[in-house]
Amino acid sequence: MVKRTSMDTKLSVKLGKLNLKNPVILASGTCGFGKEMEGLIDINKLGAIVTKTITLDKREGNPPPRVVETPGGLLNSIGLDNDGLKNFLFEKIPYLEKLKMPVIVSIAGNDIREFKKLAKELSAIPCVNAIEVNLSCPNIIHKNAKFSLPAQDTKAVGKIISGVRKMTTRTLFAKLSPNVTDIKEIAKAAEGAGADAVSLINTYPGMLVDIKTMKPRLGGVTGGLSGPCIKPLALKCVRDATGAVKIPVVGMGGIMCADDAIEFILCGASAIQVGTANFVNPRAGLEILEGIGKYLGRNKMKNIKSLIGKLKVEG
Ligand SMILES: Cc1cc2nc3c(=O)[nH]c(=O)nc-3n(C[C@H](O)[C@H](O)[C@H](O)COP(=O)(O)O)c2cc1C
């Protein structure tokens, strides 16, 4: 049992059917399957974790190097490397089911059938409290039509989310890409198809070049940019999305400290995810949680809800 404190009460948030004791979630791909954080922090103090994205079958991922640092950020091209659903069920679930906070499993598929199968099988596992659909996986095939990136196409988002929705009653998050013309339309498509919340943003596409070798710095040539350098872009996406949908928005992108998280909450995020910061400081999530509590105290706010979306815009 998690001991409840007065701090828990004022920080608790509800996302779909999910009750989080606080709004701090570790982001997909940056905390493994929870066990990787063992010995570094007590993850049970956090609101929830999102696992690394899993696929139906094992994927080798992209060639190395897979991660490169850049001023103010990280460029990665992991390529959804994972051991597949069966391995997840046998190897990862035994640890995840011991956790005392919600587990959100991130999924991706090559086609809609795979997304649906993953959602169906995972929904039979009691400790899988929610599913986050990673819509930023390339080359999805649906009825012979190829969607380059589902998160960039309202039709693809609608089809995948409604397909998954039919397979699960668990809380459903749609994870969106910032690399779109209008994030509002994509968020609305996810909401219309039955998502309980939208999580944004995933990484921005980018690349780096080694001028000595004249080769790309990443084995996969291009990758996804994350970290502090994307925070202003992410905040804009979160504010746009919260203005467009009624479902909760979970904000992320360059959150390194409590002040960053508070910016996202002011822009309307009901909860936040911490990603790249985990690689710099594994305690970042806990420090952010503590900092949010202190900020509320300093501003004489009894409840996190008093802060959500309270950005003051003149005129
Ligand atoms: C090394 C690395 C691996 C990631 N893997 C995944 C993944 O498997 N699934 C996913 O949805 N997002 C993945 N992401 C994206 C993060 O979850 C997050 O959306 C993004 O990095 C922006 O947040 P940040 O700036 O706090 O890292 C990954 C990010 C990094 C840096």
Ligand 1 closest atom vs CA 28: 17
**Residue 147 scores a pLDDT above 80:** no
Catalytic residue among 31, 137, 229, 267: 137
Per-domain residue ranges of the chain = 6-306
CATH of domain 6-306: 3.20.20.70
Residue whose Cα lies nearest atom 18 of ligand 1: it is: 202
Active site residue 127: no
Angle CA 248–35–127, to nearest 5: 50
Beta-bridge partner residues of 290: none
> Best mutation site among 276, 280, 281 for ligand 1, i.e. most ligand atoms within 8 A of its Cβ?
276
Residue nearest atom 2 of ligand 1, based on CA coordinates:
29
Out of 125-139, 173-187, 195-209, which region has the weakest mean confidence (pLDDT)?
125-139
> What contacts 87, CB < 8 A, 6 or more positions away?
58
Which residue is listed with tokens 């095939």? 141
Report helix angle 258-266 to 284-298, nearest 10. Answer: 60
Burial class (CB in 10 A: 0-12, 13-18, 19+), 126: exposed
Give the pLDDT of residue 6.
Answer: 46
For ligand 1, atom 29: residue with the closest CA: 29
Handedness of CA 262, 13, 308, 104 (dihedral sign): positive
Model confidence over 237-264: pLDDT tens digits?
Answer: 999 999 999 999 999 999 999 999 999 9
> Residue 7's pLDDT is what?
47
d(CA 301, CA 297): 6
Q: What are phi and psi of 22, to 5 degrees?
A: -155, 165
Q: What are phi and psi of 294, to 5 degrees?
A: -65, -40
**Interval 124-135: pLDDT, tens:** 999 999 999 999
Residues 92, 32: Cα–Cα separation, whole Å: 10
Ligand 1 atom closest to the Cα of residue 273 is: 26
Residue whose C-alpha is closest to residue 289's, from 3, 93, 44, 66? 44
Mutate to test the pocket of ligand 1, among 24, 25, 26, 30 (most ligand atoms within 8 A of CB): 30
Helix residue ranges, H only, 127-172: 154-167
* 261-295 per-residue burial string, b: 16 or more CB within 10 A, e: under 16: bbbbbbbbbbbbbbbbbbbeebebbbbbbebbbeb
- CA distance linking residue 263 with residue 269, whole number of Å: 9
Question: Is a pLDDT exceeding 60 seen at residue 2?
Answer: no
Question: Which residues contact ligand 1 via a Cβ below 6 A?
Answer: 27-30, 52-53, 67, 74, 76, 78, 106, 134, 175, 202-203, 226-227, 230, 252-255, 274-277
Angle ∠(10,173,85) on CA atoms, nearest 5: 120
